[in-house]
Amino acid sequence: MTETDLPAGPPADLPAEGLRALDRLVGTWAVTGGAEGTVRYEWMPGGFFLVQNVELTQFGSPVTGMEVIGNLRPFGEPAGADVVSRYYDSNGNTFDYVYELNGDTLTIWAGAKGSPAYYEGRFSADGTTATGDWVYPGGGGYTSTMTRI
């Protein structure tokens, strides 16, 4: 079977509303707090995936990474409801997340939605900063602030 023999799958005319809400992340941000450095968000052509490029120092070690954020759409199936991501870093890690933006509150769960490991932060009224906390089960975590540059 060749690629041209495969069905294209259902059409996806527009990216999902929950994903489009993350447009406010697009741009370059200075990160301070438990991790320091910069992150950059940009849309892939078509607008179905948001890509984050990471250059941070965390726990005293430099780390670079790339995250692809969007709605899962397995071959031949409709797009999933949750906005999910997979992150890859220079230390060989892969992490999965679920994103949700309600008003000015951004929640990022590590693994599945409702996970006890998560980030919850709020955007400032002008959208130039987002401040919140990474919470880890059993204690730990840290405060993180992103400032648009």
What φ, ψ does residue 24 adopt, rounded to 5°?
Answer: -65, -10
Give the predicted TM-score (pTM) of the model.
0.89
CA dihedral sign, ordered 133, 87, 108, 118:
negative
Whole-number Å distance between alpha carbons of 34 and 61: 12
* Strand-pair partners of 135: 118, 141
The tens digit of pLDDT for each residue in 18-68 reads: 999 999 999 999 999 999 999 999 999 999 999 999 999 998 999 999 999
* Strand-pair partners of 57: 36, 62
pLDDT at 4: 47
